[in-house]
Chain A
């Protein structure tokens, strides 16, 4: 009791609340994981009991959250430097880095075992691989080593719909990989646009962001190239087993707008951007959020209509 008594006798305003521990799980990233994993599960060509489906999405989300906690544990030093991340629980002094490590490890183990028990071992193993990939390959190894870090991180963030599909079917096929590719190709232009208008953050932290290592002109070129490749992939997906006329209509409109945004960014130079405070880059970033949501939303609509003979081709 002596430790508790000592701590109790010195009230702290910065004591961690339940919300601080929840913030370690990166709730905003988790919401994307929940949504894309749910779409992967629903797009699968087999029916899943609602309780099992709920458990599958929940444990995939917890696995994603655990990765977030482990990422915050490892990156506590650079989070302290960046404006965007300095209010996170560890740099803010609310939670100890060791607590984040413990929480991340415990939730990783729990989510993998529970997903395997609720659905199948393949899904559990794939979730374990995703956590390993995000924490070890991306966070510990490549994030600070290569300017292609965003591309690698994008791969980790793109796995949830594949896990959702495997949780439903127990097998692999080409459709979940199309969903994977959609998020994978979308991530670089999304984050590089952010890096263009949040430049000092990454510079200060010493993270080799493309804007720093190859210059801002090269970043604008990269955004355009990835957006063109993404558009081909996204529209092509319309003609696969998860596509259909609704998806095609949405993909056509959204990719048209996205290409236009990338073209504007490509055409601008730094002086243009400084004058209007990176208006084109900011609106491209906002559009990218809607872009991914609408694409996965369209896949979900197509899948939901199939039982009524309406979705797909």
Chain B
């Protein structure tokens, strides 16, 4: 039995889904910001690749 587009389940779980969505979105933004800070810091170095070692 397929769920209708506006099934009661969707209404009841809207708040929960919205919360999870916002959390995941915030996490992505946070990881992006953290990465930007790390790679622009003075002590940052790219790890040595195999080609560079040769």
Contacts and interface: CB of A to CB of B under 8 A. Distances in A.
Interface in A87-124: 117-118
The secondary structure that dominates the A interface is helix
Contacts of B18: 18
Interface in B1-21: 1-3, 7-9, 12-13, 15-16, 18-20
Interface string A1-35: 11011011001000111100100000000000000
Nearest to B2: A1
B3 A4 contact: yes
Contact of A1 (B1, B8, B19, B41): B1
B37 interface: yes
Nearest to A5: B1
Contact of A18 (B3, B15, B33, B37): B15
A306 B23 CA distance: 36
A2 B1 CA distance: 7
Contacts of A15: 12-13
Given A8-B8, A11-B8, A16-B16, A52 B3 contact: no
Contacts of A1: 1-3
B28 interface: no
Give the contact-size bracket for chain A.
10 to 19
Contacts of B8: 8, 11
Interface residues of B, number: 18
Contacts of A49: 37, 41
Contacts of A290: none
Contact of B9 (A8, A16, A52, A118): A8
B46 to A, nearest CB: 16
B28 to A, nearest CB: 13
Interface string B19-54: 110000000001001100100010000000000000
B33 A51 contact: yes
Contact of B19 (A7, A18, A58): A18
Contact of A5 (B3, B12, B15, B16): B3
A159 to B, nearest CB: 23
Nearest to B10: A8
A51 B34 CA distance: 7
Nearest to A16: B16
Interface string A151-194: 00000000000000000000000000000000000000000000
Nearest to A55: B34
Contacts of B1: 1-2, 5
A18 B16 contact: yes
A18 B20 contact: yes
Contacts of A21: 16
A18 to B, nearest CB: 3
Interface of B: 1-3, 7-9, 12-13, 15-16, 18-20, 30, 33-34, 37, 41
16 contacts: A1-B1, A2-B1, A4-B9, A5-B1, A8-B3, A8-B7, A11-B8, A15-B13, A16-B16, A17-B16, A18-B15, A49-B37, A49-B41, A51-B33, A52-B37, A58-B30
Given A4-B3, A16-B16, A49-B37, 19 more contacts: A1-B1, A1-B2, A2-B1, A4-B9, A5-B1, A7-B9, A8-B3, A8-B7, A8-B8, A8-B9, A11-B12, A15-B12, A18-B18, A18-B19, A18-B20, A49-B41, A51-B37, A52-B34, A58-B30
